[in-house]
Amino acid sequence: MELAAQTWPDLGSYFETESLALVPVGSTEQHGPHLPEGTDHIIAESLARAAATSSGFLCTPTITIGVSPHHRQFHGTMWVDAPVFRDYMESLVSNLTYHGIDRVVFVNAHGGNVAHLREVGRRLHDRGEAFAIEWMWDESIPTLVSDLFEQNGPHGGPKETAMIQHLAGDLVREDRLEEAHEGGVTFPTDDSHRNGARVFYDCIDNSPNGVFGDQTDATAEKGERLFEAAADQLRELCLWLNEQPFEDLVAKPHV
C-alpha cells in the first residue's frame, strides 16, 4: 500500500490494524558516466514498493536526497548535511508514530546514509517511541552478489548497474560501460588505507570517474535476480518485525 496514493479514511483503516511502515531512502548523486544520478532512490523505491505490495504493509514517499557530500566534486550531486538529514528522518518517523506506526524499516540504497539512519533508530529506540531499523539491499544478499560478479564495487559497480538495467534500462548508457570500467578502479585501492587508517574522505580521491568494479559484467538478467532476492529478504524482515511484541523491541530497563 502506497501512502501517497490513499485517501485519509483508507489510511485510517490501515492504522487501526497495522503499525509498520517502509520508508525508502536513497540519494541523488553521481554514479559514473553510465548510470543516472537517481540510481539509489530508484532502487530503494522499487524494493520498498515490491515488499509493500507482497506483504500489504504501508510504503511512504521516497526520500530522494541523502548524505552525499563525498560525491560533491561530480556535477549534479545533491546532498544535505548529516545533522539536518538525521533530524529530518527522526521528525518523519515521529510523524508516523503520531498516526500509530511504532516500527519502521528504512529501505536504504545509499551507503552514505547508513550510519545516520542507525543513529536515528537509536534515538527513537532510546525514547521508546518507535523501533526503526536500517536495511541495505545488497547486505541482505551478499552471497548472491559475490556469485554473480567477478569484480564487484561499492559504488556504480556491476550490482547497481545490473539493478538499473533491470528497473530502468532506458536510463543506462550502455555505450559507456567500458568507459566506466576503464576510467574507474577496483576497490579497495592501494591508496585508500594506510597503516590501518582510512586516509580519504571524497570519492574523487579514489576514482577519477567516481565508480568502482567491472560494470561490463552487469546484465538486466542478473539485476532481476538481485531484485527478486532482495525484495524477498525485505518482505521476510517486515513479516518478522510485525510479529514482535513492541515491549520486546524497546530499550530494556536499568539492570
Q: Which domains does the chain have, with CATH numbers?
A: 3-249 (3.40.50.10310)
The arithmetic mean of pLDDT across residues 157-172, rounded, is: 98
Model pLDDT, residue 194: 87
First to last CA, the chain: 41
Model pLDDT, residue 190: 66
- C-alpha 82/C-alpha 70 separation (Å) is 12
Q: Which of the four pLDDT bands, split at 50, 70 and 90, describes residue 188?
A: low
For the cut 70, the answer to whether the pLDDT of residue 226 exceeds it is: yes
The arithmetic mean of pLDDT across residues 161-181, rounded, is: 97
Q: Residue 251 corresponds to which amino acid?
A: A
**Residues 174 and 44 sit within 8 Å (Cβ to Cβ):** no
| Whole-number CA gyration radius for the chain | 19
Order across the sheet with 20-25: list the strands: 58-59, 20-25, 103-108, 131-136
Element (H, E) at 132: strand 131-136
Reported as a single tens digit per residue, the pLDDT across 238-255 is 999 999 999 999 988 888
Total length of the chain: 255
The arithmetic mean of pLDDT across residues 203-215, rounded, is: 93
Residue 4 has a CB neighbour count (10 Å cut-off) of 8
Of all residues in the chain, what percent carry a pLDDT higher than 90? 90
Strands 197-198 and 193-194: antiparallel
Q: Nearest 5°: CA angle at 22, between 17 and 28?
A: 155
Q: Which of the four pLDDT bands, split at 50, 70 and 90, describes residue 208?
A: very high
The arithmetic mean of pLDDT across residues 158-178, rounded, is: 97
Model pLDDT, residue 88: 98
